[in-house]
Structure 1
Amino acid sequence: MKVFVVLALALASVSAGVLPQDTPVHPKDIQGVPVIQGRITNGKNAAENQFPYQVGLSFTGSSGSWWCGGSIISNTYVLTAAHCTSGASSVKMYYGSTTRTSPQLSHTVTSSSFQQHAKYNSKTLNNDISLIKTPSVSFSASINKIPLPAIASSYSTYAGQTAVASGWGLTSDSASAVTSKLQYADMKVIANSVCQQSYGSAVVTSDVICVASVDKVSTCSGDSGGPLALDGKLIGVTSFVSSKGCEKNYPAGFTRVTSYLDWIKTQSGVTA
């Protein structure tokens, strides 16, 4: 099946005039790593309350358990990736945590609280976005929402600007143990045309943001669904990396939040 998916992506990209050099995968699907995964590879330790909008998500399903990230966008909604909610029966949410296993607050909800994008495509990785309806949480210095970008910024590519990604877990492709501290990295947004050279235009559509990976700094397993922020606004949801590994200096891909502002508003009522 994987061979078929790769061939289909290649053919789609050729027809669009862009031949991919690499195969993208969702970070949580990278092989050869522990079940509970995560982390910005070669990133920095986050300070207390530096990312109050970051949540840790421990999903459980028939195929086992997996770790993802998410972003608080209101008192009752968390935004994450569709490939995180896909196949899950429940999720335990960790709020206000810099140390991964010591949250200020936690809640568990079932899949009935998931609002996964109806057109999520696991083959092309398109529409990789989900909402989780949560019990209402009170905001504080350690737990707070991140604003969505304004509709007026929908036409911005963000190319050349530096955004920040955050998440927990592995320190490298070969790591066998997770880190307990929330990690972050500043990453430069690149033009989609550049990212298409790696993954093709069937994957890197206008609904995707890519960042450059330099000096082995990238998102990785378990960062899935986590935030990419710019100027205090949520512009991306961690979606894919190179199938060759997180430290290979291939671009990392994010679902472009501005492409889904109407969907978010319709599903949750949350606006910029």
Structure 2
Amino acid sequence: MRRISLWRRWRWAAPAAAALALTIALITPAGAAPAPPTSSVIGGSDAEIRDFPWMVAVSYAPSIGDQYSGMFCGGTLVAPRKVVTAAHCAKGLKPGELKAVLGRGDLADHASGRVLDVSAVWIHPGYYDVWNGNDVAVLTLTEDAGAPVLPVGTSDDDLYRAGTPGTLLGWGLTGDHAPRITHLQRGRVAVSEDHLCDVEYPDFDPETMVCAGSPTTRQCKGDSGGPLVINGRLAGIVSFGREPCTPVKLPGVLVRVAKYADDIRRQIDN
């Protein structure tokens, strides 16, 4: 299958050896190697963390004290000790290299929120790269987060009808050449028609992936692993998109969470 180059990993906080994915995979010209990602929700606005208490900054432990709290991906608290993120964010990392930051809307405000240790990393056994899907990981925390959780969407929730509105959240880039930000962003998007993504992304699989965006808002580098929230449920995990992040009207690709609800539930119960 023709491979359009994806932006997949952006090493903001970690050395190259750590192979950290700072955002979603982006597509670039055919035959090119994956390009380093850029970062926040384009077209978004500042979000109050109290409105999204389950939002997690997945951070690189050695960089936890920097102005971005070491954040390189987003995540979602789905149980007191379980965080869902993208597999490409966690692949190749040991639990001790990771931290989960909760309750910190502004990553530069080190006095706010909690920083929790990670005791285990589960990556979907079918994950190889973002183009092949299964871009799902679950982090186990060493202690209860003490925060509300976001329910995981299931096939019974009817989340993926084209046009269904949702909210993207992340600390990623707000433009291709915009400076990196520290404040959590929120953006209103809608589920896209599967056939549109099939045209834009040759590797798009409607069984395991979903596209979302709007004429003014889309995911960008740095948003990887973060949530798409629909009807109060975790419906998507930011996975990849086209590079550059403009034109904004092109949707990004996310994990279709309902497809993996049973896998996530098994990790929650484990």
Deviation at residue 135 of structure 1 after TM alignment: 2.2
Give the SS at the match of 1:220: coil
Paired-residue identity, %: 26
Shift of 1:171: 2.2
Question: Given the alignment, which residue of 47, 65, 68 partners 2:73?
Answer: 68
Contact 2:105–2:184 under 8 Å retained in 1: yes
CA contact (8 A) 2:57 2:73 kept: yes
Please give the alpha-carbon distance, in whole angstroms, between the structure 2 residues aligned to 1:60 and 1:28. 20
- Answering whether residue 164 of structure 2 is matched by residue 161 of structure 1, we say yes
* Conservation of the 8 A alpha-carbon contact between 1:59 and 1:88: no
**Runs of 5+ in structure 2 lacking a partner?**
9-22, 27-34, 63-69
- Write out aligned runs for 1:174-185 (5 A): 174-175=177-178, 177-185=179-187
Residues 66-99 of structure 1: CA distance to partner in whole angstroms, max 9, x if unpaired? Answer: 7000000010100000000012232121101111
1:38–1:178: 8 Å Cα contact kept in structure 2?
yes
C-alpha distance in structure 1 between counterparts of 2:101 and 2:130, whole Å: 29
Change (3 A) 1:164 1:118: same
Q: CA deviation at 1:164?
A: 0.3
**Aligned pairs for 1:139-154 within 5 A:** 139=146, 143-153=147-157
Secondary structure in structure 2 of the residue aligned to 1:179:
coil
* C-alpha distance 180-52 of structure 1, shift in aligned 2 (>3 A): same
1:4-57 CA deviation, whole Å, 9 max, x = no partner?
A: xxxx345xxxxxxxxxxx554433556466xxx741022100024111111001
Confirm or deny: 8 A CA contact 2:85 2:237 kept in the other structure.
yes
Distance 2:140 2:48 in 1: 28
> Which ranges of structure 1 fall in alignment gaps of 5 or more residues?
1-7, 11-21
Partner Cα separation in structure 2 for residue 148 and residue 29 of structure 1: 23
One-letter amino acid of the counterpart of residue 197, structure 1: V
Distance 1:123 1:104, change over 3 A: closer
2:77 partner amino acid: I
The answer as to whether partners of 1:192 and 1:206 remain within 8 angstroms in 2 is: no
Question: 1:199-241: per-residue Cα shift (whole Å, max 9, x none)?
Answer: 02x33331111013423x2111111000000111110111011
Q: CA RMSD in A?
A: 2.4
* Structure-1 residue corresponding to 2:31: none
Q: Distance in 2 between matches of 1:147 and 1:75?
A: 12
Aligned twin of 1:43: 44
Give, as a single letter, the amino acid of the residue that structure 1 aligns with 2:176: D
Q: How does 1:160-239 map to 2 (within 5 A)?
A: 160-175=163-178, 177-200=179-202, 202-215=203-216, 217-239=217-239
What secondary structure is seen at the aligned counterpart in 2 of 1:229?
A: strand
* Alignment coverage as a number of residue pairs: 236
* Matches of 1:60 and 1:203, distance apart in 2: 33
CA distance in 1, matches of 2:83, 2:49: 20
TM-score (norm 2): 0.79
Of 82, 85, 90 in structure 2, the residue corresponding to residue 80 of structure 1 is 85
Q: CA deviation at 1:261?
A: 1.1
TM-score where L is the length of structure 1: 0.79
